[in-house]
Structure 1
């Protein structure tokens, strides 16, 4: 079955459950002042485009693209459902978000993530797509936990 990635209005039970899981995991693996994950109500803001990925009726993951400033996008809320880990879902969502960024004329896409072991698979995914570490952007600050990465499009 093919993976389908589509815009999502963040009202379905499955996506809200995955977002709760995402927020819980961010709080479990991050210092309280370094949790930058957005709740559903913030993901519905006009500066965010939110997408969900599906195998038929099964939610496989999600991701969002937020406009930081003209020409600069931010990857937010990248999460693969536990049942679909290591099946290429994260890679497919990231590629979808990068294509969306290019179609909007963004010249750069950045992200913030944790630096500890639970975030290492994400680092590998981003590095495989040519993201490099960078200085903090937008409202992020340099600390002992977060790292920022960027990709020039």
Structure 2
């Protein structure tokens, strides 16, 4: 997954002026706030044994493409695609700063990652998200883009705090 990425989403959704989505190293200090907020949100109402977020350092891997959505150089959102092998990929670590929500940034980033997954020839894109009410907006977003609930995939096991979703890219 080391191919260069386009700066704009590969979707039919127009990119608002001043926004970019680019691959970046997750270790960049400019992303500290995003990672802090992501960590806080995941621990807010999820038991530790049900938190499946990857450590920041683990996102530095040839199997992972990490993207940052910026506005005027300020990082507002992040997300990653993990190659699971066999034409399967997973969305990891998707997060948008709470004060910037409601602008469609999650949808822009999600559509970008779906387009990249298709471009790379993946046949299925899956994800794990929380089952708690605090994750309802995320589940609605994924469903609105064609994801459907599915059984656990990869190394996941059934978990009452997890919702598993998948999208066929054929």
TM over 0.5: yes
Say whether residues 1:125 and 2:141 are aligned partners.
yes
Pick aligned residue for 1:60 from 61, 70, 76 = 76
Which runs of 5 or more structure 1 residues have no equivalent in the other structure? none
Aligned positions of 1:1-153 closer than 5 A? 1-153=17-169
User: How far off is 1:57 after superposition?
Assistant: 2.0
CA contact (8 A) 1:19 1:39 kept: no
User: How far off is 1:2 after superposition?
Assistant: 3.0
Write out per-residue CA displacement over residues 28-82 of structure 1, whole angstroms, 9 at most, x where no aligned residue.
Answer: 2211111001121001111110000011122110100001122000001110012
Write out per-residue CA displacement over residues 77-134 of structure 1, whole angstroms, 9 at most, x where no aligned residue.
Answer: 1100122111111000000100110011000000001111110000010000010000
TM-score, scaled relative to structure 1: 0.96
Give the Cα–Cα distance (whole angstroms) in 1 for the partners of residues 62 and 45 of structure 2.
Answer: 29
Larger relative helix fraction: 1
Partner SS state of residue 45, structure 1: coil
Partner SS state of residue 69, structure 2: strand
Aligned length: 153
Partner SS state of residue 124, structure 1: helix
TM-score, scaled relative to structure 2: 0.86
CA contact (8 A) 1:16 1:40 kept: no
CA contact (8 A) 1:10 1:16 kept: no
Give the Cα–Cα distance (whole angstroms) in 2 for the partners of residues 125 and 82 of structure 1.
Answer: 15
